[in-house]
Amino acid sequence: MWMAGGVDADEQLDRGAAVNVLKRTYGFLRPYRGRLILAGVFAILYTASTLAGPLLVRTGIDDGIKQGDRDLLNRTVIAYVVIAALGYVVYRRQVLAVARIGEDFLKALRVRVFDHLQRLSMPFYDREKAGVVVSRMTSDIDSLSELVQMGLLMFVQNGLLLVVSVVVLGIVSPQMLALCLVAVPGVVIASRKFQRDSNEAYLDVRDGIGATLSQLQEGISGVRVVQAFAREDVQTDRFEEHNRQLYDAHMRSVKISAWYLPVIEIAGLGTTALAVGVGGWWVHQGDLTIGTVTFFVLTLSNLFEPIQQLSQLFNMVQSAGAGLQKLYGLLDTEVDVPERAGAVDVPARGGIEVRGVGFHYASDPDTPVLRGVDLTVEPGERLALVGPTGAGKSTLAKLIVRFYDPTEGSVSIGGVDLRDATLSSLRRTMVVVPQEGFLFNGTLLENVRLARPEATDDDIVDAMDSIGILHRFSILPDGLGTEVRERGSRFSAGEKQLISLARAALADPEILVLDEATSSLDPGTEAIVEEAMERLSEGRTTIVIAHRLTTAARADRVAVVAGGSLAEVGTHDELIAADGHYAALFSAWAGGQPV
């Protein structure tokens, strides 16, 4: 998470964390070892071609021009042109090889992380903020994209060029190398300061980008509320404040570069002047040749430019390493509701047994949500769960479908504890229709087919017809091929709920859990949804979280959840006659009072 106005400690990798990230990344890159070796060969060839040019110039001057050997000079010129052309080809192949490896790595990593996110249990999403989870697949992947596209290539290339250049310069003339290295300590000190200061500024920039994007998203998502209360100016002022902070952060990073880049430039110019002056004197003394001095002048850029670029690339590498650490941490997150070894399938027509169930959320272990719940649901029975808001009825339903495991007691189907059941058989046996229908981008057919990917169009038509909603959607201009648009924006809340019910009908489960979603619908749509729910429930074991007590009155039995416990169980008439919790709830609901 970002800390406003400061540096995020998660962006800083210590030595141990960096080593662990490198080891894991090496493991991920094993399938690309052959291509990595080839990219390394290209890097070596390009470095050799970069240094070969100045060496050929040295030969052309000392052995061609000074000795008057025209043939040697011509051969040197031709060799220079050939080396330059080969350098271009090799560099191009190197760029493509590194980029292809990096993009293949990111492609596989994205799929692996997304697949893991899809399989993590509901407790994970209770603990983590949606924005943090999304940032793993956006900002962290983006930081890696910058690295693999050019950063990694430049980092390896400059490091190799710097080392090889020092070695070659030392071989050609140790005394000139010693002269040229005079400015290096100052450059290294300046580079370390630049790396430290720019890293802090860079993190402030990312902090500002995150805050600005968050404000932008909030302003767009809540634009109806903003306009309803005529608060456009207030929202604009808030956005302007975040935008100003982002501007200030960018300017701090520019100021840091503004002092550092001239230092490198001056160091390079000063060293070149020193090489020409002192080298020229040594040439006059007969200790060096003109070609050697020229070679040093041409090669000096291979000392200072790599140091400058490595300093600038350090932040990118640091950020990418931190991004990888977060992504690996996400991949290491264990599933809270795992499938045990030796798990068995649940019986197709088994009853539901809830015995001594207690539950509390991991984030608040001292506050039990449920305690001591005992309940039996017979095959084919329709049970309504009712109770005041926050009583625990939705949590009980989530335990029955094993979105969570109870912290005490057990839930079983046909005598099989859900913790010993295969998840695939549970999902085949049970289907949950949530309170709000969620639609994905795509056509109406594709959204219904989500329940059974192998289903044909005729299967979907039959499923929709079985709950009486086929005509409502088939009369659309594009029929069942209608695009639903993002989050189903093309359809009303009731229509989205009908499509969710069609999914459940296509899945054809033995057990159906309905979080009734008619309380916010208009009477006409409500009647259609209720009729579809009635048809869908026929012949199935059904558990309804009833917000409207008319739904509870139609159930075979009613279970009243109050204060985290099961207060009453019985038919509607029995509970009304008992004049207990349910009777009070029904009386309050019938009188229009808050339940």
The candidate with the shortest Cα–Cα distance to 199, out of 8, 17, 3, is 8
Residue 344 lies in a domain: no
Cα separation, 266 vs 187, whole angstroms: 10
Q: How far apart are CA 506 and CA 494, in angstroms?
A: 19
Claim to verify: residue 145 and residue 87 sit in the same structural domain: yes
Give yes or no: residues 275 and 412 share one domain: no
pLDDT tens, the chain, 595 aa long: 333 333 344 555 566 776 777 788 878 888 888 888 888 899 889 889 888 888 888 888 888 888 888 888 899 999 999 999 999 999 899 888 888 888 888 888 888 888 888 888 887 877 776 667 777 777 777 777 777 766 777 778 888 888 888 888 888 888 888 888 788 788 888 878 887 787 777 667 767 776 777 778 777 877 777 787 777 888 888 888 888 888 888 888 888 878 877 887 888 788 888 888 888 898 888 888 888 888 888 888 777 778 777 776 776 777 677 778 888 888 888 888 888 888 898 887 888 999 999 998 877 788 888 999 999 999 999 999 988 877 888 889 889 988 889 999 999 998 899 999 998 898 888 888 887 778 888 888 998 998 888 989 999 999 999 988 888 888 888 888 888 877 777 788 888 888 888 999 998 889 999 886 665 566 667 778 888 888 888 888 999 988 777 788 888 999 999 888 888 899 988 889 888 888 888 887 666 544 4
pTM, two decimal places:
0.71
φ, ψ for residue 489, nearest 5 deg: -65, -15
Asked whether residue 347 is assigned to any structural domain, the reply reads no
Task: For residues 207 and 157, state if they share a domain.
Answer: yes
Pair of tokens at residue 359? 């539950």
- In the prediction, which pLDDT does 406 show? 92
* Cα gap 208→211, rounded to integer Å: 5
The answer to whether position 343 is within a domain reads no
Within-domain flag for 336: no
Do 204 and 296 have their domain in common? yes
The interaxial angle of helices 33-59 and 152-172, nearest 10 deg, is: 40
| Contact indicator for 516, 356 with CB cutoff of 8 Å | no
Q: CB neighbours of 512 closer than 8 A, spacing ≥ 6? A: 430, 431, 433, 504, 536, 537, 540, 541, 542, 543
CATH number at residue 536: 3.40.50.300
Q: Verify that 286 and 376 share a domain, yes or no.
A: no
Is 279 found in the same domain as 232?
Answer: yes
Choose one of 301, 331, 361: the last residue of a domain. Answer: 331
The owner of tokens 């880049």 is 261
Same domain, residue pair 315 and 377: no
Report d(CA 408, CA 417) in Å as an integer.
13
Residues 405 and 547 in one domain: yes
Give the domain-ending residue among 331, 366, 396.
331
In a domain, 155, yes or no: yes
Chosen domain end from 296, 331, 366: 331
- Beta strand pairing call for 408-413 and 382-386: unpaired
User: How confident is the model at residue 523, as a pLDDT?
Assistant: 64
327 and 356, same domain (yes or no): no
Residues 368 and 261 in one domain: no
409 and 307 in one domain?
no
Same domain for 363 and 449, yes or no, is yes
Number of folded domains that form the chain: 2
What pLDDT is attached to residue 353? 93
- Are 559 and 375 in contact, with CB atoms under 8 Å apart? yes
Q: Is 260 within the bounds of a domain?
A: yes
Q: What is the largest CA-CA distance in the chain?
A: 120
Phi, psi of 115, deg, nearest 5: -60, -40
Q: What is the DSSP string of 265-328?
A: HHHHHHHHHHHHHHHHHHHHHTSS-HHHHHHHHHHTHHHHHHHHHHHHHHHHHHHHHHHHHHHH
* Distance between CA atoms of residues 455 and 341, nearest Å: 30
- Domain coverage including residue 189: 15-331
Q: With beta carbons less than 8 A apart as the criterion, state whether 276 and 293 touch.
A: yes
- The enclosing domain of 291 has a CATH number of 1.20.1560.10
For residue 4, tell me if it sits in a domain. Answer: no
